[in-house]
Amino acid sequence: MKKILVTGGLGYIGSHTAVELQLEGYEVIIIDDLSNSNQQVVDGITTITGLVPTFVKLDLKDKTAVSDFFNRYSGIEGIIHFAASKAVGESVQRPLLYYENNITALVYLLQEVEKHQISNFIFSSSCTVYGEADQLPITEQAPIKVAMSPYGNTKQIGEEIIQDTCKISSVLKAISLRYFNPIGAHESAAIGELPLGVPQNLLPFITQTAIGKREQLTVFGDTYDTPDGTCVRDYIHVVDLAKAHVIALNRLINNQNTSSYEFFNLGTGKGSSVLEVIQSFERVSGVKLNCKIGERREGDVTAIFADTKKANEILGWKAEKTLDEATLSAWNWEQKINRS
């Protein structure tokens, strides 16, 4: 079995991708520093797949530890790099944390990729690289504008670093996957989004409010230039997203890439407002949420959703799950973790 390293593999998207990799027949090695995850996620991955991934607790900002890891674990044929801080609002408040976590770790990782001649690299990027779009839906040809947040800037810089490395490398092939807004959980409810502290994303805040962990859900602004005044995003089921990573990795391993650096949008191609997500949740759960309208949040763009034609046609990937499926799976996950 080919060995694949998944950094941040106990996090939300990383754990779902580890599942899909193991189901595809890959041997998975997970690095995670547990700063925003839980080691029990290993049990969830094992429950779904029947296979125990290798787990190493490691801080990618520790250059010596990163070097030691690659000296110990030989034969890695591909890396999927998720490990990063990921909240837009927090990045505005703590920019230096984001630049240290998201840039330093990537540089140290790529230095080892070059040293050990590892060919296949998938980068967890984001639609935030586009900033406030001129046209919707957003294609991959849309201009990369000044980032609206330090988080978005780290993704822009990360892509540039990888692209520059690919230009000078004799072996490196990389794909950046620009996600829109991942939501939902695995249908087994064995893994899902598990934020530590106050959630930074919409759906876990919804589910925690519904189950009574949070007194009230705040909608950040209802005066945006959208049909109902709330921000519009392209919400993609995390399992669909995870499958795209395996398809992209297969593309690199099978040398189907047409250049050493490629990038793809991953979304549903449809925008949903914050209120539409709330309505979907209330519909599938039967729970009425306690909501209030608050002030706009700095760093938030008005509306963003994907043109997914490139990923559909070139990668051969398409999002399949609905918004209702995503909100229901997130609710099942929330109820499960509150029973256990």
For residue range 96-141, what is the model confidence (pLDDT) as tens digits?
A: 999 999 999 999 999 999 999 999 999 999 998 988 778 999 999 9
54 & 107 share domain: yes
Return the residue matching tokens 């090695």: 29
Domain count, the chain: 2
User: Within a domain: residue 189?
Assistant: no
Asked if 300 contacts 221 with a C-beta cutoff of 8 angstroms, the reply is yes
| Residue 191 lies inside a defined structural domain of this protein | no
Q: Which domain holds residue 288?
A: 202-233+269-339
52-to-13, 19, 43, 46, 337 alpha-carbon distances in Å: 18, 10, 8, 5, 21
Q: Mean pLDDT across the chain, nearest whole number?
A: 95
Question: pLDDT digits over 167-181, tens only?
Answer: 999 999 999 999 999
Residues 60 and 117 in one domain: yes
Residue-wise pLDDT for 37-88, tens only, equals 999 999 999 999 999 999 999 999 999 999 999 999 999 999 999 999 988 8
- The Cα 332–Cα 187 span in angstroms is 8
Residues 250 and 318 in one domain: no
Evaluate if residue 254 carries a pLDDT over 90. Answer: yes
pLDDT score, position 306: 96
CATH code of the domain covering residue 274: 3.90.25.10
Task: Tell me, yes or no, whether 94 and 216 share the same domain.
Answer: no
Q: Look at residue 33 and tell me whether its pLDDT is greater than 90.
A: yes
Tens digit of each residue's pLDDT (9 = 90 or more) over 136-154: 999 999 998 888 899 999 9
Return the pLDDT at 246.
Answer: 98
Asked whether residue 163 falls in the same domain as residue 228, the answer is no
User: Does residue 260 sit in the same domain as residue 319?
Assistant: no
172 lies in the same domain as 294: no
Residue 206 shares a structural domain with residue 63: no
What mean pLDDT do residues 184-203 have? 91
157 part of a folded domain: yes
- Asked if 247 contacts 320 with a C-beta cutoff of 8 angstroms, the reply is no
What percent of the chain is modeled with pLDDT above 70?
100
Domain-embedded: residue 187: no
pLDDT at 340 exceeding the cut of 70: no
Question: Are both 133 and 48 inside the same structural domain?
Answer: yes
Task: Assess whether 98 carries a catalytic annotation.
Answer: no
Same domain for 170 and 316, yes or no, is no
Catalytic choice (108, 151, 224, 261): 151
Structure tokens at 309: 């034609």
Read off the tokens for 89: 């609002």
**Based on the domain organization, do 159 and 300 belong to the same domain?**
no
Residue at token pair 């650096």: 261
The answer to whether residue 208 sits within a structural domain is yes
126 and 224 inside one domain? no
